[in-house]
Amino acid sequence: MQKASDGRVAVVTEVSDQMFATFIQSEQPVLIDFWATWCAPCRMLSPVVAELAEELQGKLVVGKLNVDDNPRTAAQYGIMSIPTLLIFQKGEVVRQVVGFLPKRQLQAKLADLLPAN
């Protein structure tokens, strides 16, 4: 878990190679942030992802996968640059975002995938 910008706890799950296949199987869209500790743009994106996780709790499942610690999943999905965000619906990739995006632009990339209510 991480803190959102206002100090509240956001629900972001650390995902591993071992649990990945199960984690992406959800009725809700699933956003996975592929990152590494040494990656400056990843560190810039992390609080944005945490804020979205908190704001969209109940509509979006959010996880982070460290590519250094979990190379199998990163290779399986062809992650060549980080940060990369993959958005899954029912276990299938429906959208990919590579690089840092400001919160508003990331919200726009997610908007049509989220439930209306």
**Cβ atoms of residues 103 and 48 within 8 Å:** yes
Q: Which residue has the tokens 């965000």?
A: 85
The CA distance from 34 to 76, in Å, is 12
DSSP state of 26: -
Q: Which of 39, 50, 87, 97 is catalytic?
A: 39
26 counts as catalytic:
no
Token representation of residue 36: 């590494």
55 counts as catalytic:
no
Q: Which of 42, 82, 87, 106 is catalytic?
A: 42
- Which residues, in sequence order, are bridge partners of residue 10? 2
Catalytic residues: 39, 42
